[in-house]
Chain A
Amino acid sequence: MNLDKLLETGDRCIHKEPPTCTAQCPVHLEIIDFLAEIEKGNFQNAYKLMEKKLPFYNIIGRICDHPCEAPCERSKAGGSIRISDLEKAVLEYGAYKPKKVWPLPKNKGKVAIIGGGLSGLIAAVDLDKKGYIITIYEKNNRLGGRLWDFVGDSLTEELLKQELKTMVDKKIAIHFDATVDQNRLAELLTEYDAVYLGTADWEEPIEANPVTFQVGDSTLFVGGQLLNKSDSVILSASSGRRAAISIERFISQVSLTDSRDREGVFKTPLQFDISSKEPLPAVEKSAGIYSQEEAIAEAKRCVKCQCRKCIEGCVHLRKFEMSPDAYIRQINHNERIILGTHYANKMINSCAECGLCKEECFLDISMNDVIHETRESMMARGKMPASAHDFALKDMAFSNSSRFSLVRQQPSKEESKDLFYYPLISFSDYVKGLYKGTGKTEFLFYPGCQLPASYPDDIKSIYEYLVGHVKGDVGIYLGCCGAPADWAGQQGLMNENIEALKKVWAEMEHPTFILACSSCIRIFEKYLPEIKVESLWDIYVREGLPNNDHIKIPQTLSIHDACGTRENSNLHESVRKIVAKLGYGIEELEYSKEKTKCCGYGGLVYYANREQSDAFVSERIGESEHDLLVYCAMCKDLFVSGGKRTYHLLDLIYPKDNGEPATRIMPTLSERHQNRSRVKQILLKEIWREEPMETVMEDNFTLIIPEDVQQKIEDRYILMEDIQAVLKNAEAKNERFCNPDTGEYLAKLRRDNVTFWVKYEKEEESFLIKSVYSHRMEILEEDGNSGGTK
């Protein structure tokens, strides 16, 4: 993994960037924090923030020309926050006696300040504080320059005098009535280590470096109006401070230019979308200064501009309190660490890889891609926790084994000729389709692994529909597309799977794949662009729905789009057309279509972090009062398990009489296996009229499983076949423990990389299962075996 590139991506994230008010403030007052303190009524804390950033805050706070206000994002929703008025209020309500500062010994060098106006005073104070010997040359008989022009209601003469007196208190040398001209300047430049020129006018134009304010490579530095060519008070203040920084660097002989790109006014890369905020007008002052209550109310209007778009949409980022920049730093650390704990593993495996973050990002930063690449890297380096995705990968292996996998061409005309009789041939589209068979497979129906697991009874109906409606022979291909391997970062396994798919495609002479699962669609787009695919839902729209009398009770549904189809707007439209055609109303969710959310299954988060998966489920199902309509089997199963009435499109297209489909609970993990095997059996028997070759796993023992134990079986990813195998071994070899007091047995068996334990009681011919659990750690028993059969 290219970690430098990764960090560059993190640096592009604008989450941490300052708001435009702070960027436009030449001295960078932390305005969001400042307003937040006022909002809480902590005027003194707000005052401390002014003290920290504003030189002569008692003066500037009263006369600042507030360039921060005009660009305020609030201006688009009710009017800019009145920051300047709030500063005045804070000076009124938050002032406290300043702490005594002990001066540093003055031994760092001598600096002359020409002009005792605002910028000169600030340069003088900043350098004095750092230990320079300062001498001010002022042409008048008092300090302050144009500050005297601002004396009025806000800045009183008394206050100004008091502030200027601090210069005397600091024992800074001041020469009054000291006019400095070109000649005198030349002398001062030889007498002092550096000279700051802060007069409003000068005899001739002076060019200074725009970053350092240094004139050429001389010891002269410029600031104030002379440099800024502007009346702005705060710009003057900022230039005095920045010149002082240059002078200190100059005298200390360090680089004058390093890390100064964000001094003064700069353009923040932050982008903020205020469109969702209610407009709120500014709070008017009832007197010259805001009352405390008015100030608090005004500060509350601040929207605290920060880019959180991806975070707001993503329950994963919120759960781990991560912005992309912080997340990427953690990944970087996790990737570089050699000895020690990889603390970010769990987080990295808790992302649904749904891609909403990229959709929401102004800069198209895709944490989905970053995290996916990280998982591939973890896998390649052997650092992927085995337990995170083990069950899902075994499930994939099951689906690609002979217990489910199947490839068949459409039954030939020859094989089907017994069906071609009246009235069957005139009333059954399916039989008509068979009659038109050419022997050339134009389409291959690939329902994926989860749809057959959840809807075993519909696969045959869909297949028959397709044979009867699409032009050309339709074959079938049962298997898993490899989405689990992709999500787990298993590139090797993924490539193997893709090669296997390609081989079937080639053998069938390049048919179009008909896909019904959103994850398959995503995988085909990503790995198999050469294969032409069509979605089952698009075909229903084009060829018409199979039944006519679907609707039972007309109602409004909210459509939850599958995250795998995010970029497939045609498919979104097809689904909506089908829902409307079926007679249902649609109310769109806020996050829908290209901005849909994940149900909580994506990225295998369901297996790697169940708590995170539950958080995805509960957030999503809380977003609509209406029943949900989904078209991905896992979305349906997760939402129903979360307690939300949810229909799968197939529930509406192929209605059944056995109970309410919107509340039908998901099949257990074992039932999902059985259902897939059953689909294969049904198809072989009823479509191809073959006797199934493979024998289904027979359940040797009759089990009684209480509900709480059933829940444990699911939560701990244990299959019935695991339990059966443990019991079979225990019963055959007596390899078990017994409890004479309770009559219970406890047996174990290691299967592959997991040891399964079953606590049970025997009740005549059946087994009452009391508990099940497993561990991956291997116990090396003294005879060298690890308690397993393999």
Chain B
Amino acid sequence: MKHESNDQTKWLCDKCQRELELAKVKVRYMEGNFEVDLMKCPTCNQVFIGEALAMGKMKEVEEGLEDK
């Protein structure tokens, strides 16, 4: 699952008012645990998932894991 950086740079964390940074983030689904590069707030750590990523690659990986 690869991070897609189309228009995400202009989003800020609203709570911390900080720009997002690319960082290694742990994700989990069923028995699958991975580390992927995603945009997140360097202060509060909230992770940004864009629509294209959620409905594209992420869904594909979910379905792949469900069929394992």
* Chain A positions near chain B (C-beta within 8 angstroms): 340-343, 345-346, 385-388, 733-741, 745-746, 748, 755, 757, 759, 771, 773-783, 787
Contact = CB atoms under 8 A, between A and B. Distances in A.
Contacts of B45: 781-783
9 contacts: A340-B68, A345-B67, A734-B14, A735-B14, A740-B12, A755-B49, A775-B62, A776-B62, A777-B27
A490 to B, nearest CB: 16
Contact of B12 (A733, A738, A771): A738
A777 B14 CA distance: 23
Nearest to B29: A777
A738 B68 CA distance: 37
Nearest to B68: A341
Nearest to B23: A782
A771 B64 CA distance: 25
B14 A736 contact: yes
Contacts of B15: 733-736
A46 B1 CA distance: 52
Most buried by A among B13, B29, B67: B67
B58 A775 contact: yes
B25 to A, nearest CB: 6
A777 B68 CA distance: 15
Interface in B12-68: 12-15, 20, 25-30, 38, 40, 45-49, 51, 54-55, 58-59, 61-64, 66-68
Given A757-B54, A777-B27, A781-B47, A741 B66 contact: no
B2 interface: no
A664 to B, nearest CB: 30
A387 B38 contact: no
Contacts of B28: 777-778, 780
B63 to A, nearest CB: 7
A735 B12 CA distance: 11
A746 B11 contact: yes
Nearest to B14: A738
B58 A787 contact: no
B27 A386 contact: no
Interface of B: 10-15, 20, 25-30, 38, 40, 45-49, 51, 54-55, 58-59, 61-64, 66-68
A361 to B, nearest CB: 29
A779 B27 CA distance: 5
Most buried by A among B13, B27, B54: B54
Most buried by A among B47, B48, B63: B47
A745 B62 contact: no
Given A738-B14, A757-B49, A773-B55, 5 more contacts: A388-B66, A745-B14, A771-B51, A775-B49, A778-B28
Contacts of B38: 779
A737 B49 contact: no
B54 A775 contact: yes
A780 B25 contact: yes
Contacts of B67: 341-343, 345-346, 385
Contacts of A776: 29, 62
Give the secondary structure class of B's interface. mixed
Contacts of A779: 25-27, 38, 47, 49
Contacts of A748: 49
B13 A737 contact: yes
Contacts of B25: 779-781
A746 B10 contact: no
A387 B62 CA distance: 9
Contacts of A738: 11-12, 14
Given A738-B14, A746-B11, A387 B51 contact: no
A731 to B, nearest CB: 11
Contacts of A343: 67
B41 to A, nearest CB: 8
A388 B67 CA distance: 11
B40 to A, nearest CB: 8
Contacts of B59: 775
A345 B58 contact: no
A217 B43 CA distance: 91
A771 B30 CA distance: 27
A669 B55 CA distance: 20
A779 B46 CA distance: 9
A773 B52 CA distance: 10
A50 B29 CA distance: 58
Nearest to A342: B67
Contact of A737 (B11, B26, B68): B11
Contacts of A787: 46-47
Given A737-B11, A775-B49, A345 B66 contact: yes
A777 B65 CA distance: 10
Contacts of B49: 748, 755, 757, 775, 779
Contacts of A737: 11-14, 20, 46, 48
Contact of B10 (A736, A739, A778): A739
B58 A757 contact: no
B27 to A, nearest CB: 5
A734 B16 CA distance: 9
A346 B67 CA distance: 9
Contacts of A735: 14-15, 46
A686 B2 CA distance: 57
10 tightest Cβ-Cβ pairs between the two chains A and B: A385-B66, A780-B26, A738-B14, A777-B29, A734-B15, A782-B45, A737-B11, A775-B54, A781-B45, A778-B28
Contacts of A741: 10
A257 to B, nearest CB: 44
A775 B55 CA distance: 7
Nearest to B38: A779
Contact of B27 (A774, A778, A782): A778
A777 B51 contact: no
B37 to A, nearest CB: 13
Given A773-B54, A779-B38, A779-B47, A385 B63 contact: yes
Nearest to B25: A779
Nearest to A385: B66
Nearest to A741: B10
A748 B20 CA distance: 16
B22 to A, nearest CB: 14
Contacts of B14: 734-738, 745
Nearest to A779: B47
A57 B24 CA distance: 72
Most buried by B among A738, A740, A777: A777
A755 to B, nearest CB: 8
Contacts of B62: 387, 775-777
Given A736-B14, A740-B10, A759 B51 contact: yes
Contacts of A783: 45
Contacts of B12: 737-740
A367 to B, nearest CB: 21
A734 to B, nearest CB: 4
B68 A342 contact: yes
A782 to B, nearest CB: 4
Nearest to A755: B49
Given A737-B12, A741-B10, A775-B58, A341 B47 contact: no
Nearest to B26: A780
A387 B30 CA distance: 11
Most buried by B among A342, A385, A775: A775
A775 B58 CA distance: 7
Contacts of A342: 67-68
A776 B11 CA distance: 23
Contacts of B10: 739-741
